[in-house]
Structure 1
Amino acid sequence: MRIGLLTEGGYPHVSGDARLWCDRLVRGLGRHEFEIYALSRSERQEAEGWIPLPPQVSRVRTAPLWTAGDDGVAYGRRARRQFAEAYEELAAAFCAAPEPGAPQSASGPVGPEEDRFGNALYALAELARDEGGLVGALRSETAVRALERACRAPGAIRAARTARVPDLLDVAAHVERALRPLSLDWYEDDGLGSVDLCHATTGGAAALPGLLAGHFAGVPLLVTEYGVHLRAHYLGTSGGGPSAVRALLASFQRRLASEVYRRAVCITPGNTHARRWQERCGADRDKLRTVYPGMEASRFTEVGESADCGDPHTLVWVGRVEPAKDLISLLHAFAEIRKEDPKARLRIIGSAADAEGEAYLGHCRALAAQLFPDEAEGVHAVGDNPVSFEEIGGPEVPDRAEAYAAGAVVVLSSVVEGFPISLVEAMFCGRATVSTDVGAVVEVIGGTGLVVPPRNPRALAEACLAMLRDPERRERLGAAARARAQELFTVEQNVAAFHGIYLEIVSRAPVRRVLVDDAGEPLPFGVPAEAHLPGRWTELRHLAGKPRWAWAPGRAVAPVRAAGPFQEPVPATEGAL
């Protein structure tokens, strides 16, 4: 089958999100053909180039989300009126405050604002296809005035009523950036209109091409979120900025997420924590299938099978240094540990990814020197000092496997965490773990480690001491953790799960195209005979309970209704053909 893989800020670029798991998925499904439609986030990302692609990738099309400016499309009077009406509806939908008692799940009736948002979104998409683009229109005075009227209308979000002109300009610019995929020429028969399935590797802008491929060509959409896009938006805007801007953009992203979840035939969260977020934001639980991320276990096999369980007095922390990892609480906890166990050591292994991380790392170094003043000299080196700050790639720690092998207990002290990758890597290495109860930690650990509340240095210290004092318990939990990781979190289980989901979705989608040979002649047996039968093989899944027509070569199939994406379809009635 032909898969349209939709990415944002990642694969196939060298740097970015979801790069590794997308590459493993594509390479693991060599019998399928992949077309990659990638949205880039920065000029630097595009300049770094792509990773080597396997032969099953037949085409790559990219578009930037970081450029600004007009697209040069001039609208006539009729097109301007159509844009004004559609954008007015869109703005009114996401500026409106949620009604008290409104259903939080798409399993209930679709609310009027959700339906209004979706209709306006597709009206803008059709206008962009007819006129050649929307970039200039979305940044125009017409758009800003429509936003202003929506903010002043009765029933608008309370914070939106205080929005001033700079706030409205800021919101209009963010909305234009988010809706930039509407202006792309990806949706014709030579693009996404010809694929069997769209697979969006995240929500938000990456899923928009999948929505439009479904709207224009009836292509089914699969959405995978290992980090929920809406949650990431909330966390990214919590630091400040005008309240009106934050409220309006949050409402826009919430409406967009709801539309993506409503139109997708299947949604695959990476863990139960992400699943709960998706259900809260409108995803129908009948569409949800948890698929854990796949990780390369072979890198940690040698450490996991080794009889050496690491230094019995050493705690190890591995990861990217940033405030969300709460190394401050870890250092305070380790000060309590040293009072009870003077031989204990803490190795913090990781580096900062940006200026904020560098500043936080400096603060942690200063705190370590303050907490252990008698041993502050040379606190950055590995030796007799109780705390060391190291980076992977040096002589002491050449790779991540050696980082986990350095100690007997691996600690995770985060206050915010999605899927804890470092925790899974420690499990592959057969290490006992002590973690804070955030994100998907409890689900990942599954009883093979100790879990304490976040921001609680005393509880963290007591759990670490319990592990350090009991080598038999460490060995037992480490072995159980490794067995659990090998069963649930390998690349093989991830690829097998998506292979099955692909087949399940495509088996229920219509045959939309006639296969031809190199000379352009039809291939009479290019499509399985059962694809021409009404019902299961030609019926197109219906979104939000709305019947739609599905076309197969030579005949039409009557509209049917379906309660969920993986239930048996209702056969077409004889009189409808």
Structure 2
Amino acid sequence: MRIGLLTDGGYPYATGESRLWCDRLVRGLPQHEFDLFALSRSAHQEDQGWVRLPHHVSRVRTAPLWTPEDGTLRGSGERGLLARLVTGGGPSYGRRDRRRFAAHLEALATAICAPEDTGREPATDGGLFTEGLYGLAELARERGGLHLALRSETTVRILEAACRARGTGRTVQSATVLDHLAVAAELERALRPLSLDWYGQDSLGAVDLCHATSGGAAALPGLLAKRFFGVPLLVTEHGVQLRAHYLAATDAPFGAPVRALLATFHGQLAAEVYRQATVITPGNTHVRRWQQRCGADPARQRTVYPGMAAERFSPVGEDDDQGGPGTLVWVGRIEPAKDLIALLHAFAEVRRAEPDARLRVFGAPAEGGEGATYLAHCRALAAQLFPDEAVGAHAEGVSPVTFEEIGGPEVPDLAEAYAAGGVIVLSSVVEGFPISLVEAMFCGRATVSTDVGAVVEVIGGTGLVVPPRNPRALADACIALLRDPERRARLGAAARARALELFTVEQNLAAFRGIYLELISHAPVRREADAVDAHGEPLLFATPAEARLLGHWTQPQPPATGAWSEPGTGVPSWAAGAEPEPAPEPEGVCAAVHGPGDGDA
């Protein structure tokens, strides 16, 4: 089977979300042939290069979702936005194509400006939104130049007219010219996948199945592959792209009209992705519920937990030693969403009840200035809460609170961090799939967690769960486990058994192996052009039997030495070198500590 794997800002790039999960999926299913269609998010990501790819990755197509001027578009004044949006050059549309473009964009703009009362008969199940989306995609495929058209004054005028039409809300009607310019810029950025050269018989038209590893931009090529060629679409989400957009909207330099229009656009795009997907595989029930709110059919959903490598935690999990019996351990990326402030206040209550208790915080600040500022604030609060004791790594053994990074002589790796504590604590106020809890479960540790995201689903009764932003409840749960070693041991053993049953790489691969075979068994037969005669009938012996089996007879073999081709060249250079097994990479929370990975949602 030939799988078209669609990624957005991740695999095969060396940095990015879902990189590790995709790599395990591809390596774990060597019986299939993979074509990678990867969207990059920044020049820095492209400069980091690719990970080593296995031999059954036959082709890699890459495309950027960024341009050098993206950083200057946001925050520009009205004249600056207009100067950057209204561009010339490139393919120009004739009168007929200009009318086509205007009609399709008008349908799309009407759908996002007045989604409840468009006043027109819907062309498809998705109404005006899909009429406009697929119309623009077909125009881009036939004529090109869509990105220039979306950056034209015509786009701004159509958006302005749609915002002022009858049936739009008060917020949308209040949009200014600057708001229309901002929406036009964001739409052009979001619709860039429509202009790619991937929609041919030799690209996405040649695959048997499209597997989008996230919603949003990564799923757009899958939508077009299904529309143009009938390729079935599988969508996997470990974190909902629409939810991520909502959370990021508060930090964007836009007013209420722009946020409202973009929220409607992304919501309708998510609904269309779920409507067209043959199967949707959320990474947990939390994501599953979000997808259903956005229109996903529950009959098409199948929860598949992200697989994690349990072997690295086996020595700790199989050891009867419960670590520091009076030590609480927190592991993760230090940022406001993790709510270490509440944890420090809770630990102050723990110390009053258990004077010998310790709290060890393992992690590094999140990228950017916010993470470093938050870490400094946490250190200052710890010093304030425990004024009579030294707080910091320089006073370990005396201080009740230490802030440490994994990789030192005492704690060389992630498993050792979990082994250092008797109770593992998660204090987040926002969480997707809690990777740190699964790692603690692999290590056989009892846990205390806040009830956010998929925490309850993951724990399943093998740990204590308290409300978020409640230091008193968090402290009481920690004290209960610190005072009861037998209960800690029982919970830890149950947690390890649950993690080994549900959250391993093996169960993840088994699930997708079955889904792939099921989808292709229901797909119509699609014959290769060079294997049929003039009447469409199959040519005898046109395809050798051994061509269906992966091996040296179907793939060019690399020599013993050399290096891979530079990223972005389209395909790996098989003549450039043999592929050694990749070195072990940080995963989950460890990846969050040391760099981007596939953990946090």
Same fold per TM (> 0.5)? yes
Higher RCO (C-alpha 8 Å, min separation 6):
2
Q: Return the alpha-carbon distance in structure 2 between the equivalents of residues 24 and 34 of structure 1.
A: 13
Give 3-state SS (helix, strand or coil) of 1:373's partner: coil
Spell out the pairing of 1:327-406 with structure 2 (5 A cutoff).
327-354=340-367, 355-376=369-390, 378=392, 381-406=395-420
Describe how 1:253-264 pairs up with structure 2 within 5 A. Answer: 253-264=266-277
- Counterpart Cα distance in 1 of 2:267 and 2:95: 32
2:461 to 447, 470, 481: 447
SS at match of 1:342: coil
Deviation at 1:245, TM superposition (A): 1.3
Contact 1:410 1:432 in 2 (8 A): yes
Which residue does 2:81 correspond to in 1? none
What stretches of structure 2 of length at least 5 have no aligned partner?
70-86, 532-537, 546-601
- Equivalent residue number for residue 321 of structure 2: 308
Alignment of 1:95 onto 2:113: yes
- Partner in structure 1 of residue 577 of structure 2: none
Contact 2:382 2:391 in 1 (8 A): no
Q: Paired residue for 1:243?
A: 256
> How far did residue 378 of structure 1 move?
4.1
What CA deviation, in whole Å up to 9, does each residue of 1:260-288 have, x standing for no partner?
A: 00011110000110000000000011110
For 1:549, the equivalent position in structure 2 comes to none
Distance in 2 of aligned mates of 1:379 and 1:35: 48
> Quick one: structure 1 residues 99 and 410, their matched pair in 2 at CA, closer, same or farther if it must change by over 3 Å?
farther
Q: Offset of 1:381 from its aligned partner?
A: 4.4
2:475 counterpart of 1:461: yes
Structure 1 stretch 331-340 or stretch 65-74: which is displaced more?
65-74
Determine the C-alpha separation between the residues in 2 that align with 1:389 and 1:292: 31
Deviations along 1:310-354, one digit per CA (max 9) or x if unpaired, are 000000000011111000100000011111110010011001122
The answer for the alignment partner of 1:197 in structure 2 is: 209
Q: Is this contact kept in 2: 1:326–1:414, CA < 8 A?
A: yes
Task: Please say if residues 4 and 36 of structure 1, whose CA atoms lie closer than 8 Å, have aligned partners that are also in contact.
Answer: yes
Match of 2:187 among 158, 170, 175: 175
TM-score (norm 1): 0.87
Find the aligned partners of 1:225 and 1:527 in 2 and give their Cα distance.
Answer: 37
1:75 and 2:88 equivalent? no
Shift of 1:246: 1.0
TM-score, normalised with respect to structure 2 = 0.83
What's the offset of the Cα at 1:154?
A: 1.7
Question: 1:113: how far off?
Answer: 8.7
Offset of residue 396 of structure 1 = 2.1
CA change 1:515–1:523 in 2 (3 A) is farther
Residue matched to 1:2? 2
| SS of equivalent to 1:375 | coil
Q: For residues 35-184 of structure 1, what are the structure 2 equivalents within 5 Å?
A: 35-67=35-67, 72-98=90-116, 114-184=126-196
Q: Which moved more, 1:63-72 or 1:17-26?
A: 63-72
Determine the structure 2 residue equivalent to 1:14: 14
Q: 1:149 to 1:523 in 2, by over 3 A?
A: farther
The code of the aligned residue for 1:91 comes to A
**Alpha-carbon spacing, 1:350–1:377, altered in 2? closer, same or farther (3 Å):** closer
Letter in 2 for 1:419: F
SS at match of 2:126: helix
Native 8 Å contact 1:194 1:513 kept in 2 = no
Aligned pair partner of 1:319 in 327, 332, 336: 332
Unaligned runs of 5+ in 1: 101-109, 529-577
Which amino acid is the alignment partner of residue 335 of structure 2?
Answer: E
Letter aligned with residue 438 of structure 1: V
Q: Give me the whole-angstrom Cα distance separating, in 1, the residues matched to 2:405 and 2:44.
A: 25
**What letter matches 2:235 in structure 1?**
V
Q: Is the 2:349–2:472 contact (alpha carbons within 8 Å) kept by the matching residues of 1?
A: yes
Aligned-residue CA RMSD in angstroms? Answer: 2.0
Out of 232, 239, 258, which is 2:244 matched to? 232
Q: What is the identity, as a one-letter code, of the residue corresponding to 1:192?
A: L
The offset of 1:155, in angstroms, is: 1.8
2:307 aligned with 1:294, yes or no?
yes
User: What is the deviation of 1:508?
Assistant: 0.7
Structure 2 CA distance for partners of 1:476 and 1:151, relative to 1, 3 Å: same
The equivalent of 1:273 in structure 2 is: 286
Task: Report if the CA contact (8 A) 2:327-2:360 is conserved.
Answer: yes
Give a deviation string over 1:85-130, Cα, whole Å, max 9, x none: 1001001101114479xxxxxxxxx998932101111100000011
Distance 1:157 1:61 in 2: 42
Aligned partners of 2:480, 2:242: CA distance in 1, in Å? 38
CA contact (8 A) 1:38 1:63 kept: yes
**8 A contact 2:123–2:131 mirrored in 1:** no
- SS in structure 2 of the partner of residue 168 of structure 1: helix
Contact persistence 1:515–1:526 (CA under 8 A): no
Deviation at 1:376, TM superposition (A): 3.5
Given residue 46 of structure 1, which amino acid in structure 2 is its aligned partner? E
Corresponding position: 1:438 with 2:456: no
Match of 1:481 in 2: 495
- For residue 439 of structure 2, the aligned residue among 377, 401, 425 is 425
Partners of 1:16 and 1:25 lie apart in 2 by 16
Residues 527 and 132 of structure 1: CA distance in aligned 2, closer, same or farther (over 3 Å): farther
Contact 1:515 1:523 (8 Å CA) reproduced: no
Q: Distance in 2 between matches of 1:203 and 1:3?
A: 17
Which SS does the other structure have where 1:389 is aligned?
strand
- What one-letter code is carried by the residue in structure 2 that aligns with 1:336? E
Match of 1:340, as an amino acid? Answer: A
Distance in 2 (alpha carbons) for counterparts of 1:376 and 1:505:
60
- Alpha-carbon distance in structure 2 between the residues aligned to 1:381 and 1:468: 23
